[in-house]
Amino acid sequence: MSIFITRAHELADIKDELAARDWFMGTSGNLAIKVQDEPLQFLVTASGKDKRKRTAEDFLIVDKEGNPIGETNVKPSAETLLHCEIYGRSNAGCSLHVHTVANNVISEIYGDEGKVVFKGQELIKAFGRWEEDAEWEIPIIYNYAHIPTLAAAMIPFIKEDKGAVLIRNHGITVWGRDGFEAKKVLEACEFLFQYQLTLLQAKANLQAVK
Ligand SMILES: [Zn+2]
């Protein structure tokens, strides 16, 4: 089987798993997986499709600038440039972008601080931080409507082959060396966001009964 077909199947499986979590509300979200370096080519989700369904035109192959390679009836996701920056600046093999209520609320609560920090959480190990009381910081960038500006705002935070950036009141972009790692980072982030929101709510409830 060609590497293209293998990667397309891998991305389709990831898409199904994230769809099962209902992380593609209103056709939002986009996924990408690298097919080759030199020249860079990656598969990305087609624009405006219901990602809960499997079709023959779910993905298309694009170059390092996000332009489709070859004939196609579909357009790459409007946010393909974000994936281009990740593959151009790291050894990531997969990058995922989803909009969830939890990541949007967290990005709004901590947006003015420009980051949300998690400390002493078991799931921080997903980011390769194994020490006790390790910290993990997720930057929060402004949601520029102009996609090249948004992609440029993310560049300073693409420092490692795996990572995560929140876009305020928009969603999260994560990446990892392969599909397994990118998904692990995404699931860990969403766990931490839900934990934080539940904790804040529980603290507020305790305060109210005091
Ligand atoms: Zn988005």
**Residues with C-beta atoms within 5 A of ion ligand 1:** 171
Instruction: Tally the residues of the chain.
Output: 210
Structural domain boundaries, residue 9: 3-209
Ligand 1 centroid from CA 148, angstroms: 13
Q: Among 34-38, 127-131, 160-164, where is mean pLDDT lowest? A: 127-131
> How many domains does the structure of the chain reveal?
1
Ligand 1 centroid from CA 7, angstroms: 22
Residue 19 to residues 14, 31, 51, 63, 179, Cα–Cα distance (Å)? 8, 12, 7, 26, 15
**Percent of the chain residues past pLDDT 70, beyond the cut:** 100
Here the CATH number for the domain that contains residue 188 is 3.40.225.10
Ligand 1 centroid from CA 129, angstroms: 27
Largest CA distance in the chain: 65
Q: Give the phi and the psi of residue 12 in degrees, each rounded to 5.
A: -65, -40
Closest CA to 111 of 185, 155, 176, 172: 172
Please give the average per-residue pLDDT across 53-61, as a whole number: 94
Mean pLDDT of the chain, nearest integer: 94
Q: How confident is the model at residue 45 (pLDDT cuts 50, 70, 90)?
A: very high
Ligand 1 centroid from CA 95, angstroms: 13
Ligand 1 centroid from CA 27, angstroms: 10
Q: Quote the Cα angle for 121-122-127, to 5°.
A: 90
0.85 surpassed by pTM? yes
Q: How confident is the model at residue 76 (pLDDT cuts 50, 70, 90)?
A: very high
